[in-house]
Amino acid sequence: MGSTRPAYRASNDHSIGRVHGYTHDMPLRDPVIETIDDQTAEILRLRGPAERLEMAFGMWRSAREIITSILVAEHPDWSEDEVASEVARRLSHGAR
Between 28 and 48, the more confident residue is 48
- 6 located within any domain: no
Nearest Cα residue to 55 out of 67, 70, 43, 68:
43
Number of H helices, E strands in the chain: 3, 2
Q: Distances in Å between the alpha carbon of 61 and those of 36, 38, 56, 65, 87?
A: 21, 26, 9, 6, 11
85: helix, coil or strand? helix
Domain count, the chain: 1
- 62 located within any domain: yes
What is the model's pLDDT at position 72? Answer: 96
| Residue 32, phi then psi, degrees to nearest 5 | -125, 135
What is the model's pLDDT at position 33? Answer: 78
Convert the pLDDT of each residue in 37-95 to its tens digit: 899 889 889 999 999 999 999 999 999 999 999 999 999 999 999 999 999 999 998 66
pTM, entire model: 0.58
- 75 located within any domain: yes
Residue numbers of the domain that contains 26: 18-91
